[in-house]
Amino acid sequence: MKFVFTDKKVNLPNKVHAYAEKKVGKLDRYFKADTEAAIVFSVEKDRNNVELTIRSGGTIIRVAESTSDMFATIDAAVSSVERQIRKNKARLEKRLRQDAFTRSVDAEELSSFAPEGEEEEVFRIVRTKRFPIKHMTVEEAVLQMNLVDHTFFAFKNADADGAFAVVYKRNDGGYGLIEDDA
């Protein structure tokens, strides 16, 4: 697993990076050889934040955790990734390493943040909507999204030859745009 560390507005000692590499490195058993882990450390208002993004082939797993201690935040981020992998085990088995779920884990290796029971959730579609996806500019799509008071809006981008796109509201108050790469 390849590691990329980023420190935002904070200078951390090397032991924090080494600890993160050790803890996140334990997730290597789930992924294939070409895996990259990007870890972003930041501190805001006495809260230690860790954003962990793991890219393996076409699969991207991202978690963000925040606690009062950087080491606990790293542990919480690793536990969140493990929880996501277990929760989506059936869907991920084809994308992860062949023996990812067969290895037994020692009790001392188990994170204290990991839940005791096995989490099993089935995605249920509770409502289906059908509507025509119209050609419009990004600005028109943002306006339409705000008019219907949704957090996202799908449209065909007139500025990109009718390619499928989605605009969405970000937590920081701004807007995001997701475009079709094809």
**What pLDDT score does 31 carry?**
78
Note the pTM of the prediction, 2 decimals: 0.60
**What pLDDT score does 179 carry?**
92
Q: Are strands 47-56 and 36-44 parallel, antiparallel or unpaired?
A: antiparallel
Could you give the CA distance from residue 60 to residue 35 in angstroms, rounded to a whole number? Answer: 10
**What pLDDT score does 166 carry?**
95
Average pLDDT per block of 10 residues along the chain, 182 residues long: 90 92 88 86 91 83 91 93 80 61 54 54 80 88 82 91 92 92 73
DSSP 110-139: S-TTS-SSPP------------PPPEE-HH
Could you give the CA distance from residue 90 to residue 132 in angstroms, rounded to a whole number? Answer: 33
